[in-house]
Structure 1
């Protein structure tokens, strides 16, 4: 069926939602946009789905949400009555249509006789993960598009462990979703009737309280808030973090917390920022103004679904410096391990988890404390998968997990990155070092002095359409068969996660990589530097990661610039 035929079916559908019908009529004047809305089905991948909202099979709307939920529901029904009765927990963020999509998901599942639980107000992604575990549910859904632009929304699915689905399980769900041919034909029962029948249960305060109680347990020095005069500025960037972050800091007795008022309340337009992304400096613009006024020691920001945390701290000149994900991770890791060691609570089988594109600085810090490090593929679900493995076989005690893209996890009562946990621990670390006359930036410089100066960089190429996909495939194939030849830098190890092999090109020795297959290449150079290539799973992009270390900031900057320049010249030659 071509896109024009699909358009006709939607246009002639008598029960089509009124707003969507009006939007569809408006689209008839723009054939290019109309084609984009119908030329394919919105892809339901291993992480769920994400897209622009509006009418069409390639858009986020109540019908594509019903299709995804019915597919998930059919998967659950095949797992038996226990799965059906344990049910699904559903959370949603502050975006347009998030609450509506949450209840369409609930109605779709409940109409199949599956128990559902829906939050009574917007809730962070990590709290959804917690709620799945707390309620012993079989699955979870969160309606969010993280820090994407306002016109987007998304649908993420979680398993019974509270983690995003691993590829094997996700593929089973995807198969059920693709079997549904006509999303417009899905019927759902009345919401009030489903609530009255007990198939939809509204949840809220009990889960909120239980979650905050757990968050406070990650503190290494739970009484430091009483003694500290640390000044904190926080912005939720119009998202879900506002209430739980404030609640957690209040529970730990931090008294000087100022909220960026312009960004405190939910706003689906994210009208005060170019992008509600704490990885970007512009997101801190209002926080910096308030920070200077209040002489704040630390600025913290959470993204709209509160799974990512960004922080800014004072440098030696008193200016606010934004830390990247690798730097924040290093500070939190050093703080956690040093405190556990000093209290005699560092387990002999302790381990930290990081992704393959996260800085090697974490490994160096862990090694100092006699703690093991395990690398996983990009995606927090793989960190969660390892936590499950360690809980089953007791080979290791999980201490900390993180990724360079501003995601951190301390307490494994959540199985996804958790900005509320990270906010609490970042503030605590700042309070701890302030008592020693130091800022978090001073603490970072101390780590660099001890471990060497590490720096990472990321380059992305956006290559759209069929031609773009072919170019990305060409780049990966070229590098797979011809490792980069760099002046002054020798490749000593090649990790190919597609073939699950690690090879030494100098002597031909090869070993197996014990991780899931993924189209990723990583090269290690003789001086400890590394380069990683990874096509994006959600966007028409290929990403190039670089990591180096040296004995000074200046040498590190020169080295990463040289490696990056040489490597990208090779990439350009393939385009």
Structure 2
């Protein structure tokens, strides 16, 4: 037996994964053993995420314990008050999540660090809220969000209530490596309780979050909420109880919850993939909405940090809004209702630029960040001033945050805000589709698409070849500006160069002379190139909406086809 395998077997506290690993050894399954021990599950800015199983390249109790010890060591190094301030820990409804959360709590209390541990499953935004509410040094959510059932994860928040960013990610990772080579302490949640270092977060904690949202001026807009009907699904996740309570608090009485998906179930029995963006994932909630002729079919993902919605059309069908459409609608709505000094809105480099256009038209302050909500919130904290308080941020992958109650994406507050937006429109005799068309007529019709190109493993970085010979045209359109985020430079066609105020990242953004945009970035996790496209079609109040839509769609198809061909 290889030494690292026998060492792992001796350290692993879980009889289930020990047995799993022993069977691989007994069966001489060298390829599987090699894959599990080739590397350690990498800890990054999203924390850990991976398939549950035995070995260092999997999610399991030993990996969780070593990770918690690494986090504790790092906190003690950089935050002198961390033991007193403590760490908030919550978890989702996946089979191993409660055990993993308890293991993390046990390791941190062993180190003398106070832990606030939820008594039951918790939506991710509730834990993020708790970090600041309890003035904790950090927070942890054991969740794999909308990943398939075989996954789990360990998501870390800093004391500011936002997801960690550099240098904390690499600092924690370094301490995890040290912890993995040291003897493992034997300590339990009960031991932590006896020490007086474990505080259980009960229903009062969830009520604090609920009260905070109910008291937010941004979620106080009540226009005949009782007249709006909506269907809702928690998608076998942890959002139902709070989602239903918050909607009831806001006066929405016609809420129809999908019973088959209401309770937490980490096997996700009714969906192939528990991500509202995936085909078929919204089928049951749309069927529920159709049964009641509801205006909206709403969903949270399993940890309730994302929000998705399908809206009833004039023809009585339900059509999904894209993340960018929801972002534009919420951004416009919130800027219309917020105090003049609450005017800071942002989105990411791969999301639509429509929010920027809306913000400019309302004299609001717009900012843009790299992909990932960790950037949206951490940058917002830096940028806000007394005259420009943070209001709203979103990313195209269905992530939104309304105000600063939670410094991370929050599918629950987004649900309430969107329901209030729709109710206000309905009270004026308008639909969500009318409002979207009105925004397009003012600013142009923006459509966005994403495509991925598979690359050969080990192939040279595409970005390098694109930088070596920068394109002057893409799909017959002139390249007006290239944003090279690796060099932090904005390069104009006439040769003028400006500096870009974003952290370096291997991303190229091509701004085309007709207002279109192409973003190219390699995936951080697999050998593929991600391409994001935006087409903007000018539109007047007289233009036929369906004709403009059709023209924009044709322009998008042409842009994608020709750009993809140029990369082959």
When normalised by structure 1's length, the TM-score is 0.93
SS class of match (1:228) = helix
Give distance in 2, aligned partners of 1:389 and 1:323.
Answer: 31
Deviates more, 1:54-63 or 1:167-176: 167-176
> 1:34 maps to which residue?
33
Give distance in 1, aligned partners of 2:106 and 2:527.
Answer: 33
SS class of match (1:44) = coil
TM-superposed CA distance for 1:217, in Å, is: 3.4
Distance 1:152 1:197, change over 3 A: same
State which of 423, 442, 450 in structure 1 corresponds to 2:434. 442
Deviates more, 1:159-168 or 1:13-22: 13-22
TM-superposed CA distance for 1:540, in Å, is: 4.2
Query: What is the 5 A alignment of 1:100-119?
Result: 100-119=99-118
SS class of match (1:290) = helix
- Report whether the alignment pairs 1:364 with 2:357: yes
- Report whether the alignment pairs 1:354 with 2:347: yes
Distance 1:225 1:5, change over 3 A: farther
8 A contact 2:225–2:250 mirrored in 1: no
> 1:457 maps to which residue?
449
When normalised by structure 2's length, the TM-score is 0.94
Distance 1:108 1:319, change over 3 A: same
Distance 1:564 1:177, change over 3 A: same
> 1:213 maps to which residue?
211
Deviation sequence 1:373-429 (CA, Å, 0-9, x none):
1111111111111221134x4362212111111111112121111100100011111
Uncovered stretches (5+) of structure 1, i.e. residues with no partner: none
Uncovered stretches (5+) of structure 2, i.e. residues with no partner: 539-547
8 A contact 1:137–1:160 mirrored in 2: yes
Distance 1:152 1:175, change over 3 A: same
Give distance in 1, aligned partners of 2:256 and 2:79.
Answer: 49
Give distance in 2, aligned partners of 1:19 and 1:336.
Answer: 50
> 2:520 maps to which residue?
533
Give distance in 1, aligned partners of 2:103 and 2:219.
Answer: 43
TM-superposed CA distance for 1:478, in Å, is: 1.2
SS class of match (2:446) = strand
- Report whether the alignment pairs 1:561 with 2:549: no
Query: What is the 5 A alignment of 1:100-179?
Result: 100-179=99-178
Distance 1:389 1:14, change over 3 A: closer
Q: Which runs of 4+ in 1 moved over 6 A?
A: none
Query: What is the 5 A alignment of 1:24-103?
Result: 24-28=21-25, 29=27, 30-79=29-78, 81-103=80-102
Deviates more, 1:30-39 or 1:126-135: 30-39
> 1:255 maps to which residue?
253
Give distance in 1, aligned partners of 2:19 and 2:316.
Answer: 54
Deviation sequence 1:161-198 (CA, Å, 0-9, x none):
01111112222112212223437x31131321211222
8 A contact 1:215–1:420 mirrored in 2: no
State which of 497, 501, 505 in structure 1 corresponds to 2:489. 501
Cα RMSD (Å) of the superposition?
1.8
State which of 361, 382, 390 in structure 1 corresponds to 2:383. 390
Give distance in 1, aligned partners of 2:151 and 2:453.
Answer: 21
Give distance in 2, aligned partners of 1:210 and 1:43.
Answer: 34
SS class of match (1:283) = coil
> 1:229 maps to which residue?
227
> 1:6 maps to which residue?
4
TM-superposed CA distance for 1:223, in Å, is: 5.9
> 1:407 maps to which residue?
399
> 1:481 maps to which residue?
468
Distance 1:188 1:81, change over 3 A: farther
Give distance in 1, aligned partners of 2:133 and 2:479.
Answer: 47
